[in-house]
Amino acid sequence: MRLEKLQNLLKEKKFPFTYAEADGCGSVDFEYRGVAYHVWEFQDNGTWGAETNVKTVGRHEDLLGNYEQDIIDLVKDWN
- pLDDT band per the 50, 70, 90 thresholds, residue 52: very high
- pTM here is 0.92
pLDDT score recorded for residue 30: 97
- Do 26 and 18 contact (CB within 8 A), yes or no? no
Confidence of residue 13 (pLDDT cuts 50, 70, 90): very high
Check whether 43 has a pLDDT greater than 90: yes
Phi, psi angle pair for 69, to nearest 5°: -65, -35
The percentage of residues in the chain with a pLDDT greater than 90, rounded to a whole number, is: 92
| pLDDT of amino acid 4 | 98
Amino acid at 63: L
